[in-house]
Amino acid sequence: MSQQTTPLPAPRACPYAPPAFYTETRESGRPQRGEIWDGSTPWLVATHAQVQQVLMDPRVGADVTDPGFPNTDAGQAATQGQIFFRKDGAEHLPIRRILNPDFTAKRVERWRPRIEELVDEAIDAMIAEHERTGGPVDLVTAFCLPIPTTAICELLGVDLVDSPIVTRAAHLATDMHADPDEQIAAMRELGAVLTRYAEDKRREPDGRLLSRLVNDHIDNGDLTFEQVVRLGGLVIGAGHETTANMLSLGVLALIREPEQRDQLLSDPLAYAATCAEEMLRYWSIVQTEPRRFAREDIEVGGETIPAGDGIIISLAAANRDPAVFADPDKLDITRTERRHMAFGHGVHQCLGQNLARVEMQAAFPRLFQRLPGLRLAVPEEELRFRDTHIVYGLHALPVTW
C-alpha cells in the first residue's frame, strides 16, 4: 500500500458518525483518493453538492464489469455482472421501467394496512417470546427482519419468509469479506428456488410481481427467464437487509435519545414520516456505495478525475454536510430538510424507497406505543455493528421491557 492513501472503506471510530476520513474529505471540499483491497486508488466524493453532481453526470458509469469500476471484492463482477442495477443506459433503464410501477408511492400506499399488520404481528410474537423465555429478545431477528422480509416476499408472491436460503444469500452478498465461492453458491441456491417459483407462476399466474414478470415480459422479449429469476433475487435481497438494518439502528437511536422517542409518541401522525427521513439521513446505512467510474475526465471540486478512475461516494458524509443540514450530527426527528441521499441520487436511486419508508413509518411509533418501556438488555458498548458490510447495521439488538 502506498504511503499517503487511506484504506477504503475506512473504519468508523464512533458507531454514530461517518469515518473521519470521509468527514475530512467533505470538509476539504475536494475528492481524495483512497486505496481499496485490490490496490487500486479510487476517489472518495463526500460533499452533498459533489455527490449530486457525480451521480447525475452521464459521463460517470455504474457498470460493474468495466475495468475502472472499484469492486467491493474479488467476486463482485462475477456475481453482479448480469444485474441491471450494475449496468448503464440501455441495459439498465428498460428494466427499471418495468419494475417502477410496483414501487410508486401510490402503489406502495396500498400495502400500508398490511405492513401495519406485519408490525403488530411481529410485536405480538416478541411479547410471546419474552413471556416464554423471560427475555431478553433479539430485536433484529424478532422484529427488524420479519417485517421487510415478509413484505417483499408477499409483494413478489413467494413464500420464503423463514427461508435460510434468502437470509444467507442476502447476508453474503452484502458482506465485503465473504468468500466469493460461498457468495456464488448462495446466489445459485436462491436462483434455484426462484426458478421453481417462476415456473409455477407460468402455469398458475397469481397477479403478484414475479408472476407478472414471467407472464407479461418474457414472450414479448422484454426479459429472459433468467433475468426474471435474477430480478426476483435482487428485489428480495435489496428489499429486506437494508430496511431491517434501518429498523434496528432507528430503534437504537430512539432508545438512546428518549426525548426524540417522546417527541415521536407525542404525535405519531405528525412525526412518523419526519422520523423515518431523519433516521435515513442520520444513519445513511449504505456505507460503501454508490460506486462508479469516470468514462471521461471529469472535474469535481477543482480536482480532475481522469477517465477510467473509480469513484466511491460517501452518502453518510454528504448527508451530514452542514451546507445543507443545520447541526448535521444531531438527531432531530422534527427536521424538515429532506434533501438527504440515503437512497442515492439520479437514475439508480433506490427502487424500493417508498416501501422502506412505509415500513419505517409504521414500525417506529407502533413499537414504542406498545412497548413504552423498551430498553437495551446489554450495555451499549457490547453492541456489535456491521462494520464490514456494504449496509451498516447491527448484528443483534438484545432488548427487554
- Shortest CB 16 distance to ligand HEM, Å: 17
Helix axes 146-156, 209-216, angle to 10 degrees: 30
Q: Which of 119, 137, 254, 285 binds ligand HEM (CB under 6 A)?
A: 285
- Shortest CB 85 distance to ligand HEM, Å: 4
Per-residue cell: 145: 427482519
> Is 34 an interacting residue with respect to ligand HEM (CB under 6 A)?
no
Q: Which is nearer to ligand HEM, 234 or 399 (CB)?
A: 234
- Shortest CB 257 distance to ligand HEM, Å: 20
Residue nearest to ligand HEM (CB): 352
For 382, phi and psi rounded to 5 degrees? -85, -10
Q: Which is nearer to ligand HEM, 136 or 175 (CB)?
A: 175
Q: Which is nearer to ligand HEM, 103 or 136 (CB)?
A: 103
Q: Are 316 and 18 in contact (CB under 8 A)?
A: yes
Helix (H) or strand (E) holding 299: strand 298-300
3-state DSSP assignment of residue 364: helix
Q: Which is nearer to ligand HEM, 83 or 136 (CB)?
A: 83
Task: Tell which positions 79-108 bind ligand HEM, by CB under 6 A.
Answer: 85, 96
Sequence-distant (≥ 6) Cβ neighbours of residue 295 within 8 angstroms: 59, 60, 61, 307
> Is 348 an interacting residue with respect to ligand HEM (CB under 6 A)?
yes
Task: Tell which positions 142-161 bind ligand HEM, by CB under 6 A.
Answer: 152
> Is 356 an interacting residue with respect to ligand HEM (CB under 6 A)?
yes
The string over 178-213, giving b where at least 16 C-beta atoms fall within 10 Å of a residue's C-beta and e elsewhere, is: beeeebeebbebbbebbeebbebbeeeeeebbbbbb
Number of H helices, E strands in the chain: 16, 11
For 228, phi and psi rounded to 5 degrees? -60, -45
Name residue 349's amino acid: Q
Number of residues that bind ligand HEM (CB under 6 A): 23
- Shortest CB 373 distance to ligand HEM, Å: 27
> Is 286 an interacting residue with respect to ligand HEM (CB under 6 A)?
yes
> Is 344 an interacting residue with respect to ligand HEM (CB under 6 A)?
yes
Question: What are the beta bridge partners of residue 132?
Answer: none
Task: Tell which positions 234-273 bind ligand HEM, by CB under 6 A.
Answer: 234-235, 238-239, 242-243, 246
Residues that bind ligand HEM (CB under 6 A): 85, 96, 152, 234-235, 238-239, 242-243, 246, 285-286, 289-290, 342-344, 348, 350-352, 355-356
